[in-house]
A = this chain, B = another copy of it.
Amino acid sequence: MPRAESRFSVRAVRATTSDGRPRSADKSERILRAAIRVFARKGFYAARVSDIARAAGVADGTIYLYFRNKEHVLVRIFEDRLGKLLDVLRARLVALPTVEERVRAVVVTQLGLLEDQRDLAEVVTVNMRQSSRLLRRYAAPLFQRYLDLVAAVFAEGQQAGRIRSDLSPRVAARALWGALDGLALTWALADGDPARLRRAADQLAELVLRGALSPAPREPVLDTSRRGA
Protein backbone atom coordinates (compact mmCIF):
# COMPACT_ATOMS: atom_id res chain seq x y z
CA MET A 1 0.00 0.00 0.00
CA PRO A 2 2.46 2.60 -1.04
CA ARG A 3 -0.14 5.04 -2.20
CA ALA A 4 -0.53 8.51 -0.83
CA GLU A 5 -4.12 7.81 0.15
CA SER A 6 -3.09 5.23 2.64
CA ARG A 7 -0.54 7.42 4.32
CA PHE A 8 -3.23 8.96 6.47
CA SER A 9 -5.51 6.04 6.99
CA VAL A 10 -6.51 5.36 10.55
CA ARG A 11 -9.98 3.95 10.11
CA ALA A 12 -12.17 1.96 12.35
CA VAL A 13 -11.15 -1.51 13.46
CA ARG A 14 -14.65 -2.48 12.31
CA ALA A 15 -17.41 -2.16 14.85
CA THR A 16 -19.33 -5.22 13.80
CA THR A 17 -18.94 -7.31 16.86
CA SER A 18 -19.68 -10.65 15.26
CA ASP A 19 -20.19 -12.20 18.66
CA GLY A 20 -23.40 -13.10 20.43
CA ARG A 21 -25.16 -9.72 20.30
CA PRO A 22 -26.82 -9.93 16.91
CA ARG A 23 -27.24 -6.38 15.67
CA SER A 24 -27.04 -4.18 18.74
CA ALA A 25 -23.50 -3.11 18.08
CA ASP A 26 -24.58 -2.41 14.57
CA LYS A 27 -27.35 -0.15 15.69
CA SER A 28 -25.16 1.64 18.17
CA GLU A 29 -22.62 2.13 15.42
CA ARG A 30 -25.25 3.34 13.00
CA ILE A 31 -26.45 5.89 15.51
CA LEU A 32 -22.91 7.03 16.17
CA ARG A 33 -22.20 7.46 12.49
CA ALA A 34 -25.45 9.33 11.99
CA ALA A 35 -24.66 11.55 14.94
CA ILE A 36 -21.26 12.44 13.52
CA ARG A 37 -22.90 13.48 10.30
CA VAL A 38 -25.61 15.49 12.02
CA PHE A 39 -23.36 17.13 14.61
CA ALA A 40 -20.99 18.11 11.83
CA ARG A 41 -23.74 19.77 9.83
CA LYS A 42 -25.58 21.55 12.62
CA GLY A 43 -23.43 21.53 15.70
CA PHE A 44 -24.28 19.79 18.93
CA TYR A 45 -26.93 22.17 20.18
CA ALA A 46 -28.75 22.76 16.93
CA ALA A 47 -28.82 19.04 16.21
CA ARG A 48 -32.05 17.47 17.36
CA VAL A 49 -32.20 13.95 18.65
CA SER A 50 -34.87 13.25 16.07
CA ASP A 51 -32.44 14.37 13.36
CA ILE A 52 -29.98 11.77 14.49
CA ALA A 53 -32.72 9.16 14.74
CA ARG A 54 -33.92 9.87 11.23
CA ALA A 55 -30.37 9.81 9.86
CA ALA A 56 -29.76 6.51 11.60
CA GLY A 57 -33.04 5.05 10.46
CA VAL A 58 -34.27 4.34 13.97
CA ALA A 59 -36.96 5.74 16.22
CA ASP A 60 -36.17 8.57 18.60
CA GLY A 61 -36.64 6.36 21.60
CA THR A 62 -34.20 3.79 20.30
CA ILE A 63 -31.31 6.16 20.81
CA TYR A 64 -32.02 6.06 24.52
CA LEU A 65 -31.58 2.32 24.54
CA TYR A 66 -27.96 2.79 23.54
CA PHE A 67 -27.03 6.14 25.01
CA ARG A 68 -27.87 7.74 28.29
CA ASN A 69 -28.79 10.99 26.54
CA LYS A 70 -27.87 13.28 23.71
CA GLU A 71 -24.73 14.53 25.40
CA HIS A 72 -23.43 11.03 25.85
CA VAL A 73 -23.69 10.41 22.15
CA LEU A 74 -21.13 13.13 21.72
CA VAL A 75 -19.09 11.72 24.57
CA ARG A 76 -19.04 8.34 22.89
CA ILE A 77 -17.90 9.90 19.65
CA PHE A 78 -14.93 11.37 21.43
CA GLU A 79 -14.14 8.24 23.38
CA ASP A 80 -14.52 5.99 20.42
CA ARG A 81 -12.87 7.96 17.70
CA LEU A 82 -10.27 9.80 19.73
CA GLY A 83 -9.48 6.72 21.73
CA LYS A 84 -8.84 5.03 18.43
CA LEU A 85 -6.63 7.90 17.32
CA LEU A 86 -4.61 7.64 20.51
CA ASP A 87 -4.16 3.90 20.15
CA VAL A 88 -3.08 4.16 16.56
CA LEU A 89 -0.78 7.06 17.27
CA ARG A 90 0.87 5.36 20.22
CA ALA A 91 1.39 2.20 18.18
CA ARG A 92 2.94 4.12 15.32
CA LEU A 93 5.20 6.23 17.48
CA VAL A 94 6.87 3.34 19.28
CA ALA A 95 7.66 1.79 15.92
CA LEU A 96 9.53 4.84 14.72
CA PRO A 97 13.10 5.46 15.77
CA THR A 98 13.76 9.12 14.96
CA VAL A 99 12.10 12.26 16.22
CA GLU A 100 11.63 13.49 12.66
CA GLU A 101 9.66 10.46 11.76
CA ARG A 102 7.65 10.70 14.93
CA VAL A 103 6.68 14.32 14.45
CA ARG A 104 5.67 13.51 10.93
CA ALA A 105 3.64 10.59 12.24
CA VAL A 106 1.79 12.88 14.64
CA VAL A 107 0.88 15.25 11.85
CA VAL A 108 -0.03 12.53 9.41
CA THR A 109 -2.04 10.51 11.88
CA GLN A 110 -4.09 13.38 13.28
CA LEU A 111 -4.93 14.87 9.93
CA GLY A 112 -5.33 11.41 8.43
CA LEU A 113 -8.03 10.62 10.91
CA LEU A 114 -9.92 13.51 9.49
CA GLU A 115 -9.06 13.44 5.85
CA ASP A 116 -11.42 10.69 4.90
CA GLN A 117 -13.87 11.66 7.58
CA ARG A 118 -14.49 15.31 7.09
CA ASP A 119 -17.56 15.17 9.29
CA LEU A 120 -15.55 13.80 12.15
CA ALA A 121 -13.08 16.62 11.62
CA GLU A 122 -15.78 19.15 12.16
CA VAL A 123 -17.30 17.35 15.11
CA VAL A 124 -13.98 17.08 16.85
CA THR A 125 -12.73 20.59 16.23
CA VAL A 126 -16.03 22.38 16.49
CA ASN A 127 -17.96 20.41 19.04
CA MET A 128 -15.08 19.60 21.31
CA ARG A 129 -15.45 23.16 22.47
CA GLN A 130 -19.17 23.29 23.02
CA SER A 131 -20.27 22.02 26.36
CA SER A 132 -17.77 22.87 29.02
CA ARG A 133 -18.97 20.33 31.54
CA LEU A 134 -18.64 17.73 28.85
CA LEU A 135 -15.31 19.03 27.64
CA ARG A 136 -13.85 18.94 31.10
CA ARG A 137 -15.21 15.59 32.17
CA TYR A 138 -14.63 13.50 29.10
CA ALA A 139 -12.64 15.22 26.42
CA ALA A 140 -10.09 16.87 28.65
CA PRO A 141 -8.57 13.64 30.00
CA LEU A 142 -8.28 12.23 26.51
CA PHE A 143 -6.80 15.45 25.38
CA GLN A 144 -4.25 15.35 28.17
CA ARG A 145 -3.19 11.88 27.15
CA TYR A 146 -2.75 13.12 23.65
CA LEU A 147 -0.63 16.04 24.78
CA ASP A 148 1.44 13.72 26.93
CA LEU A 149 2.09 11.49 23.98
CA VAL A 150 3.21 14.32 21.73
CA ALA A 151 5.19 16.08 24.42
CA ALA A 152 7.04 12.82 25.01
CA VAL A 153 8.14 12.83 21.39
CA PHE A 154 9.81 16.18 21.87
CA ALA A 155 11.19 15.30 25.31
CA GLU A 156 12.74 12.11 24.06
CA GLY A 157 14.11 14.02 21.11
CA GLN A 158 15.78 16.34 23.56
CA GLN A 159 17.30 13.44 25.48
CA ALA A 160 18.65 12.15 22.19
CA GLY A 161 20.14 15.58 21.54
CA ARG A 162 18.07 16.06 18.41
CA ILE A 163 15.63 18.68 19.75
CA ARG A 164 16.68 22.05 21.10
CA SER A 165 16.92 21.82 24.85
CA ASP A 166 15.39 25.28 25.27
CA LEU A 167 12.11 24.19 23.75
CA SER A 168 9.34 23.31 26.15
CA PRO A 169 7.97 19.92 25.03
CA ARG A 170 4.60 20.76 26.53
CA VAL A 171 4.32 24.08 24.75
CA ALA A 172 5.44 22.46 21.53
CA ALA A 173 2.78 19.79 21.91
CA ARG A 174 0.05 22.34 22.63
CA ALA A 175 1.10 24.53 19.71
CA LEU A 176 1.34 21.56 17.38
CA TRP A 177 -2.11 20.40 18.37
CA GLY A 178 -3.47 23.88 17.83
CA ALA A 179 -1.82 24.17 14.43
CA LEU A 180 -3.19 20.80 13.35
CA ASP A 181 -6.62 21.67 14.65
CA GLY A 182 -6.52 25.01 12.92
CA LEU A 183 -5.48 23.49 9.62
CA ALA A 184 -8.24 20.93 9.95
CA LEU A 185 -10.84 23.55 10.70
CA THR A 186 -9.90 25.93 7.93
CA TRP A 187 -9.66 22.97 5.57
CA ALA A 188 -13.05 21.61 6.56
CA LEU A 189 -14.68 25.01 6.26
CA ALA A 190 -13.00 25.64 2.91
CA ASP A 191 -12.75 23.22 0.05
CA GLY A 192 -12.02 19.98 1.83
CA ASP A 193 -9.69 18.82 -0.89
CA PRO A 194 -7.60 15.93 0.51
CA ALA A 195 -4.56 16.78 -1.61
CA ARG A 196 -4.50 20.27 -0.19
CA LEU A 197 -4.67 18.98 3.37
CA ARG A 198 -1.78 16.63 2.71
CA ARG A 199 0.28 19.44 1.29
CA ALA A 200 -0.48 21.58 4.32
CA ALA A 201 0.50 18.67 6.55
CA ASP A 202 3.90 18.42 4.91
CA GLN A 203 4.42 22.13 5.27
CA LEU A 204 3.53 22.02 8.93
CA ALA A 205 5.79 19.06 9.68
CA GLU A 206 8.63 20.84 7.94
CA LEU A 207 8.03 24.04 9.84
CA VAL A 208 7.87 22.37 13.21
CA LEU A 209 10.90 20.19 12.64
CA ARG A 210 13.10 22.98 11.38
CA GLY A 211 11.92 25.04 14.30
CA ALA A 212 12.50 22.39 16.91
CA LEU A 213 15.62 20.55 15.86
CA SER A 214 18.99 21.42 17.33
CA PRO A 215 20.87 23.61 14.90
CA ALA A 216 24.22 21.89 15.48
CA PRO A 217 24.75 18.86 13.25
CA ARG A 218 24.46 20.72 10.02
CA GLU A 219 23.13 17.74 8.15
CA PRO A 220 20.32 17.53 5.62
CA VAL A 221 17.42 18.13 7.87
CA LEU A 222 14.79 16.56 5.76
CA ASP A 223 14.76 13.65 3.45
CA THR A 224 11.26 13.30 2.17
CA SER A 225 12.08 10.16 0.28
CA ARG A 226 12.14 8.31 3.57
CA ARG A 227 8.64 9.36 4.53
CA GLY A 228 5.51 7.31 4.13
CA ALA A 229 6.50 4.44 6.41
Contacts and interface: CB of A to CB of B under 8 A. Distances in A.
A23 B204 CA distance: 49
A126 interface: yes
Interface stretch (A27-35, A55-63, A208-216): A208-216
A185 interface: yes
B171 A177 contact: no
A179 B179 CA distance: 4
B174 A200 contact: yes
A157 to B, nearest CB: 13
Interface in A188-219: 189, 199-200, 203-204, 206-212, 215
Contacts of A209: 211
Interface residues of A, number: 50
A11 interface: no
B172 A203 contact: yes
Interface string A120-145: 00000111011110011000100000
A25 interface: no
B183 A171 contact: yes
Interface string A24-48: 0000000000000000011111100
Interface string A59-80: 0000000000000000000000
A1 interface: no
A185 B129 contact: yes
B189 A183 contact: no
Q: Which 7 A-B pairs have the closest CB atoms?
A: A178-B182, A211-B211, A207-B211, A45-B45, A175-B179, A210-B211, A126-B129
